[in-house]
Structure 1
Amino acid sequence: MTERVAGDDLGDVDGDLTLPPSREAGEGEVHVLGTAHVSQQSVEDVETTIAERKPDVVAVELDEGRYRQLKGEAPEDIDPGDMLRGNTVFQFLAYWMLSYVQTRLGKKLGVDPGADMMAAIDSAEEHGLGVALVDRDIQMTVQRFWARLSPLRKLSMLGTLTLAIGSPIAVGTGLGLAMGAFAGFAVAMVAASAFGFASADIVAALGPNVVALVGGLVAGAVGGAVLWSLFDGAFARVLDALPIPNTTYTRIAAGVGVGSVVGVAIAATGGLAVGPLSLTVDRLASIGGFVLQVGAGVAAGALAGVALGVLAGAVLAQFVADEEEDIEEIDIEELTEADVVTAMMEEFRRFAPGAAEALIDERDAFIAHRLVALREAGYSVVAVVGAGHREGIERYLDDPESLPPMESLVGEASGTGLTAYLYKALGYAMTVGFLVFFVLLALGGASNGFLLELFVAWFLVNGILAGGLAKLAGAHWPSALVGGGVAWLTSVNPLLAPGWFAGYVELRYVDVNVADIGRLNEILDDEEAPIADIFARMREVPLFRLILIAGLTNVGSMVASLVVFPAILPLLSAPIGGVDAIPGLLLDGARNGWDIVWRTLT
């Protein structure tokens, strides 16, 4: 019977192996066999070495999760609580990128990644030997790896995954369109007035009634989309009675269509008054002018983005072609040669020194700690590890005193030291300051009608954009509603993001695990499918959909901030004298609120 030893158990190996060590304590030995994870020759070397040496234990460069994957067992699902750690989604992206690169290389060379480790496990079981899992938990490694990557390197890694979806020109065009449209939107919101192009100018040029119709159309369409989300079942029953396909898209179209007609009717008949949140023609005209202004900015940005995207894609296409030639020229037998591997490792260190430490050096030490423990217990060990780890591990085995403390090799890394703490302190200070100011403002009773309108606008714009994009990404309604519901608060704290909360709730409805990465790699390997089909298939994979939900929810909240301050505030503040009057009004209200608190305390 073969007994597996997980990383945390190796400190007490005597009680964890079915067979006792063949030697006295302190007299064990370790033979390190360096392999290439995508080499058929390495598979044969593993089988031959184990058969010839017949060790007590075969140690493999795996943790429990990866071992279970190789054995075809179901991996553990993600703990929903992990989603609130903020960087979890990005760490999975990093893990996916590393996995994709290895899978792609293995496909080119005709060998499944991990075949060397599987051969070691199978050979150990065939000969009745123990199997020790001596690598650090992969999630911990990826967390520490990600924390030490610079922002530029993180973007580079994400770009590698993006280019896997399709040809560089097609991907560049798509990204250019999206980024250009967003840039155009931002410029239109923030800087348009500086160039003499603002919504007020549009209203004056076209006339308030014409522009009000545009505002009513847009406001009605948004309202219709909200109504559809609340009464989707009712729309479904209506469409069942009509000769119209009853699909999600037709129900959305029905909701938006009804809302648009109502919005235009309100604008055409002089507006609608509902307390302080009235939709007058002037306000609808402001909305319409804002929409036309943003539309012009988005269109211009999109055109510029597409042009730059096509150019960048053409340049990247040449690099990709060169990379493909480099892969074809790889001599797989050289991958296990020390000088070749050393050169590869040094190149990676130049690319990302801190990340190389987490991915290579720390794991060398971690694995060496486990192997030293086995050796000291008297076991004869064959350690099957990637060739890039062999030199570092053997150095530690020759000089165990040089091993860093195990405590320094585990746990989460913060990445940037004092900067990270200052960033967190600033985020918390902003949140606390905002909440205190808001409470004082409410206590002071400063223009309650204006305050109500401001809060409702802030809440609704954040909620609709963040929650709407979450739903567009495929979120269940509770997930979209939670993401939209907290977006107003998270928009004032850079440490919080509505996508975390939307993802947390979404994990209650879907099972996400590391096996999803394999499915994504298979989809990306389909070089014949169009980009739209690849994206649609990827969206069906729970992990990708979760990442998409978290990302788009955050984008929605970010866009909302650009909408509220330059567009909504001028609209709401017109009755009190414009935006310039807001700071004084808010400060007066906060001062009155503080006076109330001080009198109560004293």
Structure 2
Amino acid sequence: MSDECNVVDFDENLRLVGTAHVSSKSVETVKAQILEYSPDVVAVELCDSRLSTLREPETLDSEDLLKIIKEGKSAMILLQSALAVQQRKMGLSTGEKPGAELLAAVEGAEESQIPYEMIDRDVVITLKRAWHKMGIMEKWRVVNTLLFDDEEEEVSIEEVLEDSDMMSKLMEEARGVAPNAGEVLIDERDTFLAARIQQIRGRGKVLAVVGAGHLEGIIENLNLPDIEVTSKLPTLSLEPPKRIWPKILLASIPLFLFGALGYMALNGEMAQIRQTAVTWLVLNAALAGIGVILARGHPLSALVGALASPITSLNPTLAAGWFAGYTQFKLDGPTVRDAKDFLAMDDISLFWKNRVGKVLMVTTMGNVGSMAGAWIAGGAIIGILIG
């Protein structure tokens, strides 16, 4: 390791620069290293979509928001936004936007007319793999930590930059909250980044700009035989397979309900039929409505979600949250300013205060409430059958 903080000469043709994604010092270090090392190619811990976002801030219009609701991506967008908030909080104290040093690496390479390579996995694939890997309790811990944990340990960015072990320690602490997500976000990406570096090493001197927390893992992988690392790229580049069991469970709900009603009808149990119908309607409607209320949605949005839930719970292609979210969108439509504020979000509270955030929260919580209502109602109906 050189005297410069987190600059590692792996060999004479490969230099690794470990950065903090919210540090002005990292920006300066990256620019200086490009000039000092004079690489033949610069490798940057970015994917094409993240580079595009850094260069041209994202936009979000009404059609985009409605598409998110319809495609059921509200929860994923909220998770991605919550992660961004945590990073922006650190960036605000240093005066740098997250990823500024990675953009500086690309721009520095362009200014010096040096080829550059994006070596990170697509961020959407990474998030999907992480979400797929986590169990229910792990997802809850992640959401709870992102949304409700206000305890912040004072960590100096400059101290982190001067001590790569500290960055690794911080990442390991994050792994403690979500070990399966940590495997995807840390271990898999260490391997992916190292494999991509191996792929371009034949092009001369390589300067690789990566997060300081990945340095140790990348070096470990680079010390392995090339073929052992690069052979993993195809698998690591795949989106996770879609689980079949949720669809089976969703399809089983109407079969169970109508089967129960049919059984009661055959036995002439009219009182139980009425009780079953009331149980299904009340629990579905109540919990979907409560979900929307917890998201601080408009009362009419809660009413629409409540009315839709008993029906949508019987149709796997529909979701009560979609109707509640669309109603919220129509009643309290986000402005251009709301969209800009949401995309630049630096405070979790904007999930409830910002109109875009509120539409997404209403959609997500409406769906969660409806799902809970269906399962609780199902349990209650089983009780009626055997009671």
| Shared fold per TM-score greater than 0.5 | yes
* Higher mean C-alpha displacement, 397-406 vs 40-49: 397-406
Q: Match for residue 548 of structure 1?
A: 362
Contact 1:473–1:549 (CA<8 Å) still a contact in 2?
A: no
DSSP-derived class of the 2:165 partner: helix
Contact 1:60–1:383 (CA<8 Å) still a contact in 2?
A: yes
1:33 to 9, 12, 17: 17
Q: Match for residue 335 of structure 1?
A: 161
Contact 2:21–2:100 (CA<8 Å) still a contact in 1?
A: yes
1:340/1:458 CA distance change after superposition, 3 Å:
closer
Q: Match for residue 144 of structure 2?
A: 159
1:460-471 aligned at under 5 Å gives the runs: 462-463=284-285, 466=288, 470=292
- TM-superposed CA distance for 1:366, in Å, is 1.6
- Within the alignment, does 1:106 sit opposite 2:108 as a pair? no
Percent identity (aligned): 28
Question: For 2:306 and 2:232, how far apart are their aligned partners in 1?
Answer: 45
Question: For 2:254 and 2:204, how far apart are their aligned partners in 1?
Answer: 56
Question: For 1:79 and 1:348, how far apart are their aligned partners in 2?
Answer: 33
DSSP-derived class of the 1:356 partner: helix
1:125/1:406 CA distance change after superposition, 3 Å:
same
Q: Which amino acid aligns with 1:66?
A: R
1:29-68 aligned at under 5 Å gives the runs: 29-68=13-52
Name the one with the larger helix percent.
Answer: 1
Question: For 2:255 and 2:364, how far apart are their aligned partners in 1?
Answer: 24
- Within the alignment, does 1:537 sit opposite 2:353 as a pair? yes
Question: For 1:67 and 1:503, how far apart are their aligned partners in 2?
Answer: 34
DSSP-derived class of the 2:345 partner: helix
User: 1:117-147: CA deviations, max 9, x gaps?
Assistant: 1211221221223332221121221222233
Question: For 1:507 and 1:57, how far apart are their aligned partners in 2?
Answer: 49
1:536/1:551 CA distance change after superposition, 3 Å:
closer
2:222 to 372, 397, 402: 397
Q: Match for residue 411 of structure 1?
A: 238
- Within the alignment, does 1:362 sit opposite 2:200 as a pair? no
Question: For 2:317 and 2:342, how far apart are their aligned partners in 1?
Answer: 26
Question: For 2:32 and 2:358, how far apart are their aligned partners in 1?
Answer: 40
- Within the alignment, does 1:487 sit opposite 2:320 as a pair? no
- Within the alignment, does 1:435 sit opposite 2:247 as a pair? no
Q: Match for residue 297 of structure 2?
A: 473
2:104 to 95, 114, 119: 119
TM norm structure 1? 0.49
Contact 1:503–1:549 (CA<8 Å) still a contact in 2?
A: yes
DSSP-derived class of the 1:520 partner: coil
Q: Which amino acid aligns with 1:359?
A: L
User: 1:466-504: CA deviations, max 9, x gaps?
Assistant: 368648625997x974x44552256589x9994454478
Q: Which amino acid aligns with 2:83?
A: L
Question: For 2:48 and 2:256, how far apart are their aligned partners in 1?
Answer: 45
1:72 to 40, 44, 56: 56
Q: Match for residue 375 of structure 1?
A: 201
- TM-superposed CA distance for 1:356, in Å, is 1.6
Contact 1:50–1:382 (CA<8 Å) still a contact in 2?
A: yes
Contact 2:75–2:364 (CA<8 Å) still a contact in 1?
A: no
| RMSD (Å), alpha carbons | 4.6
Q: Match for residue 147 of structure 1?
A: 132
Q: Which amino acid aligns with 1:551?
A: M
2:209 to 384, 387, 409: 384
Contact 1:80–1:508 (CA<8 Å) still a contact in 2?
A: no
* Higher mean C-alpha displacement, 113-122 vs 544-553: 544-553
Contact 1:502–1:553 (CA<8 Å) still a contact in 2?
A: no
- Within the alignment, does 1:92 sit opposite 2:95 as a pair? no
- TM-superposed CA distance for 1:48, in Å, is 1.1
TM norm structure 2? 0.72
Question: For 1:63 and 1:44, how far apart are their aligned partners in 2?
Answer: 22
1:137 to 107, 113, 122: 122
Contact 2:40–2:115 (CA<8 Å) still a contact in 1?
A: yes
Q: Which amino acid aligns with 1:99?
A: A
User: 1:4-61: CA deviations, max 9, x gaps?
Assistant: xxxxxxxxxxxxxxxxxxxxxxxx9543221111222211111011123333432211
DSSP-derived class of the 2:206 partner: strand
Contact 1:470–1:502 (CA<8 Å) still a contact in 2?
A: no
Question: For 2:181 and 2:352, how far apart are their aligned partners in 1?
Answer: 32
Question: For 1:437 and 1:445, how far apart are their aligned partners in 2?
Answer: 11
Contact 2:31–2:104 (CA<8 Å) still a contact in 1?
A: yes
Q: Which runs of 4+ in 1 moved over 6 A?
A: 420-424, 447-450, 506-516, 560-566
User: 1:142-179: CA deviations, max 9, x gaps?
Assistant: 22223344544433433334347xxx6xxxxxxxxxxx
User: 1:221-249: CA deviations, max 9, x gaps?
Assistant: xxxxxxxxxxxxxxxxxxxxxxxxxxxxx
- TM-superposed CA distance for 1:351, in Å, is 4.1
DSSP-derived class of the 1:128 partner: coil
Which ranges in structure 2 are unaligned for 5 or more consecutive residues?
A: 1-11
Contact 1:466–1:556 (CA<8 Å) still a contact in 2?
A: yes
Question: For 1:450 and 1:348, how far apart are their aligned partners in 2?
Answer: 50
Question: For 1:461 and 1:425, how far apart are their aligned partners in 2?
Answer: 22
User: 1:400-446: CA deviations, max 9, x gaps?
Assistant: 1331522331334479xxxx87777666545433334445666x494
